Amino acid sequence: MMIQFQKTALTLLALLIFAAFSQAQSKKVKHVILIGCDGLGAYALPRADMPHLKKMMNEGAWSLKARSVLPSSSAVNWASMIMGAGPTMHGYTEWGSAVPEIPSVTTNQYGLFPTVFSLLKEQRPSAVSALVYSWPGINPLVEKETTTIRVPANDNDDFCTDTAVTIIKEQKPVLTFIHLDQPDNVGHNIGHHTPEYFDELKKVDERIGKILHAVQEAGIADNTVILVTSDHGGKDKGHGGKSLDEVQIPWVIYGTGIRKGYQLNSTIITYDTGATIAQLLGLTMPQSWRGKPVSEAFK
């Protein structure tokens, strides 16, 4: 009986410490920027010429063993990333899902499975949020009523990046999601593991560098966390399968309160991204979410 009481007390103490830590962390972080690079396979990073992203890894926390959900395709994984749950919960199951193929287990007041944007809108109504996306398939996954600023870039990653830079500097959103369509197009048209694919990664890195510079120019670097990840990798000229080249994605987090130069040991799946953002912003997650914050990344 005494041993069981001690175990219960220790568990409660651990929960209280974790809750206090979460509150302290969320007070420090006032801005979160999620950069999604479509088709960026984790396999590519060791060979890639990406100095900005590698600087984020050296000065932040990272994993090259995070995983997509299956199938390793776009809409199902972008949905999982921002919805904090997998396809059996939210119902988006295909590459180009615009509506759930199976009914979502729950919907919010906007008629969709809750996203991190809807959590922010409901719990912090005055918070500014921004969605800038290069692939049109992102649009139906995020409730229109939940974004303050919403800009389609129509497959133009340079326009997408420049627009996001302006928004960050002028509006300083609490939550910004920037979707870049490369290197996926090169992967489809020419192939993964090709010189052209790695050439494109240089351009992807330049865009990441512009966003990092914008955060500095906006004067918000001391209270911002930036997270770079992907929806899937690729094999030959496609993706959607079960190979590690398709399923393993990079997961890099950098900024205030984040460990420096730290390789994460945690098992990470893409819906943990939404949960991590929610914790950083002090948001309560719905019961239907299955993601876990990657707390190992925090100091």
Compute the distance between CA of residue 100 and CA of residue 223 in angstroms, rounded to an integer. Answer: 36
CA dihedral 36, 41, 74, 172 (to 10 degrees): 0
SS3 of 136-161: the string is HHHHHHCCHHHCCEEEECCCCHHHHH
Contacts of 186 (CB under 8 A, 6+ apart): 39, 194, 196, 197, 200
Residue 36: strand, helix, or coil: strand
Residue 114: strand, helix, or coil: coil
Compute the distance between CA of residue 80 and CA of residue 272 in angstroms, rounded to an integer. Answer: 9
Residue 225: phi and psi, rounded to 5, are -120, 130
Determine which helix (DSSP H) or strand (DSSP E) holds 263, and give its type and residue range: strand 262-263
Residue 199: strand, helix, or coil: helix
Hunting for tokens 């019961």 — which residue is that?
287
Cβ atoms of 132 and 178 closer than 8 Å: yes
Higher-scoring residue by pLDDT: 5, 54 = 54
Q: What's the pLDDT at 218?
A: 98
Compute the distance between CA of residue 219 and CA of residue 17 in angstroms, rounded to an integer. Answer: 31
Residue 78 has pLDDT above 90, yes or no: yes
Q: Helix and strand tally (H, E) in the chain? A: 10, 8
Model confidence pLDDT, tens digit, residues 13-49: 544 444 444 455 556 999 999 999 999 999 999 999 9
Number of residues written out for the chain: 299
Compute the distance between CA of residue 256 and CA of residue 44 in angstroms, rounded to an integer. Answer: 27
Q: Given pLDDT bands bounded at 50, 70 and 90, which one contains residue 191?
A: very high
- Tell me the two tokens of residue 143: 């409730």
Determine which helix (DSSP H) or strand (DSSP E) holds 58, and give its type and residue range: helix 51-58
Model confidence pLDDT, tens digit, residues 122-170: 999 999 999 999 999 999 999 999 999 999 999 999 999 999 999 999 9
Residue 12 has pLDDT above 60, yes or no: no
Residue 123's alpha-carbon distances to 97, 126, 226, 284, in angstroms, are 27, 9, 21, 8
Model confidence pLDDT, tens digit, residues 192-219: 999 999 999 999 999 999 999 999 999 9
Compute the distance between CA of residue 225 and CA of residue 209 in angstroms, rounded to an integer. Answer: 15
Give the mean pLDDT of the chain.
94
Q: What's the pLDDT at 1?
A: 55
For the chain, the farthest-separated pair of C-alpha atoms sits apart, in whole angstroms, at 66
Nearest to 165 by CA among 208, 229, 224: 208
Model confidence pLDDT, tens digit, residues 240-296: 999 999 999 999 999 999 999 999 999 999 999 999 999 999 999 999 999 999 999
Handedness of CA 9, 11, 15, 17 (dihedral sign): positive
| pTM listed for this prediction | 0.92
Domain 29-297, what fold? Alkaline Phosphatase, subunit A (3.40.720)
Nearest to 103 by CA among 83, 120, 119, 87: 87
Nearest to 204 by CA among 262, 134, 256: 134
- Tell me the two tokens of residue 153: 């870039």
Residue 296: phi and psi, rounded to 5, are -60, -25
